[in-house]
C-alpha cells in the first residue's frame, strides 16, 4: 500500500520569495525621502515620481522601489518622518522658557505649512494616506493640548474660556492661514494687524521674545 508524503503535494510549486526591501536606517533611503520632500515643496506632490526622486537624489531609479514597494509607501514614509520631527520640535517648544512664543513661531514655519498643504491635497486621492494624516493630526493636537494645559496653568489661565484645546486650534489655524495667504496668494491684507495682536498677547504673558528663544 502506498503511503502519502507528509510534505506538500509534489505538484505544488513554491511561491515567490518576498521581495527584499532596504533598511529604514539606510542613508540612501534618507536621501530619497529628502529628494521627494524637495520636489513636493518646489513643484507639488503630483511631480513626485520614482524617476524624478532618483534624479534629484543622484541615484539610480530602481533604488526607489528597492526601498519603497510603491510610491504610496514612499509618501507614507515621508509623512511619518515629518510627523515625528514635528512632534519633537513641538516638545522642545513646550519645554522652552517661552513656550507660547516658540509654538507660535513653529506654527508660522512656511516650509511645514507648505508640506501640510501638499499632503492634504494628496490625501484627497489616497484613502490610506488620508487615514494616516488624520490619525497623526489628532495625536499631535492632543499632545499639544496637554502641553498647553501645563503652560496656561503656569500663567494662571486654567479657568479662562481659552482652554488648552481652543488655544491649540487658534494658534495653528491663524498662523497657517497667514502662511498660506502670503506664500500661495501673495495676500497680506490684515496680516500685520493679526501679527501685532498675537505678539502683544504673547508679550503680556511671557515678556519680549528672548534673543535665543
> Looking at residue 46, which CATH number applies to its domain?
1.10.10
Angle at 180 between CA 174 and CA 182, to 5 degrees: 100
Residue range 171-188: mean pLDDT, rounded: 90
- pLDDT > 70 fraction of the chain, expressed in percent and rounded: 87
Would 7 be classed as within a structural domain? Answer: no
pLDDT at residue 9 greater than cutoff 50: no
Would 211 be classed as within a structural domain? Answer: no
Q: How far is CA 52 from CA 81, 118, 162, 179, in A?
A: 20, 17, 46, 27
pLDDT at 161: 82
Q: Are residues 173 and 90 in the same domain?
A: yes
pLDDT at 87: 94
Would 158 be classed as within a structural domain? Answer: yes
Residue range 55-71: mean pLDDT, rounded: 94
Would 213 be classed as within a structural domain? Answer: no
Residue range 27-40: mean pLDDT, rounded: 95
- Total domains present in the chain: 2
pLDDT at residue 10 greater than cutoff 60: no
pLDDT at 126: 87
Angle at 37 between CA 33 and CA 42, to 5 degrees: 150
What range defines the domain where residue 47 resides?
20-69
Would 179 be classed as within a structural domain? Answer: yes
The mean predicted confidence, pLDDT, of the chain is 87
Would 9 be classed as within a structural domain? Answer: no
Q: Are residues 92 and 147 in the same domain?
A: yes
**Band of residue 143 on the pLDDT scale cut at 50, 70, 90:** very high
pLDDT at 24: 61
What SS3 string covers the chain?
Answer: CCCCCCCCCCCCCCCCCCCCCCCCCCHHHHHHHHHHHHHHHHHCHHHCCHHHHHHHHCCCCHHHHHHCCCHHHHHHHHHHHHHHHHHHHHHHHHCCCCHHHHHHHHHCCHHHHHHHHHHHHHHCCCHHHHHHHHHHHHHHHHHHHHHHHHHHHHCCCCCCCCCHHHHHHHHHHHHHHHHHHHHHHCCCCCHHHHHHHHHHHHHHHHCCCCCCC
Residue range 63-75: mean pLDDT, rounded: 94
Amino acid at each position: 500500500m502506498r503511503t502519502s508524503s507528509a510534505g506538500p503535494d509534489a505538484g505544488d510549486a513554491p511561491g515567490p520569495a518576498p521581495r527584499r526591501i532596504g533598511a529604514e536606517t539606510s542613508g540612501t533611503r534618507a536621501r530619497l525621502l529628502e529628494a521627494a520632500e524637495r520636489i513636493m515643496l518646489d513643484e507639488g506632490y503630483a511631480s513626485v515620481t520614482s524617476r524624478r526622486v532618483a534624479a534629484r537624489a543622484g541615484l539610480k531609479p530602481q533604488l526607489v522601489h528597492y526601498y519603497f514597494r510603491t510610491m504610496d509607501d514612499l509618501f507614507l514614509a515621508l509623512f511619518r518622518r515629518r510627523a515625528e520631527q514635528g512632534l519633537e520640535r513641538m516638545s522642545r517648544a513646550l519645554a522652552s522658557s517661552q513656550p507660547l512664543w516658540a509654538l507660535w513661531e513653529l506654527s508660522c514655519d512656511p516650509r511645514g505649512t507648505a508640506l501640510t498643504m501638499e499632503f492634504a491635497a494628496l490625501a484627497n486621492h489616497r484613502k490610506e494616506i488620508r487615514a494616516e494624516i488624520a490619525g497623526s493630526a489628532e495625536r499631535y493636537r492632543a499632545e499639544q493640548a496637554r502641553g498647553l494645559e501645563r503652560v496656561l496653568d503656569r500663567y494662571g489661565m486654567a479657568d479662562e474660556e481659552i482652554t488648552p484645546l481652543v488655544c491649540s486650534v487658534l494658534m495653528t489655524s491663524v498662523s497657517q492661514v497667514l502662511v498660506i495667504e502670503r506664500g500661495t496668494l501673495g495676500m497680506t491684507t490684515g496680516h500685520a494687524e493679526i501679527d501685532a495682536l498675537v505678539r502683544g498677547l504673547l508679550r503680556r504673558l511671557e515678556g519680549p521674545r528672548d534673543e535665543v528663544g
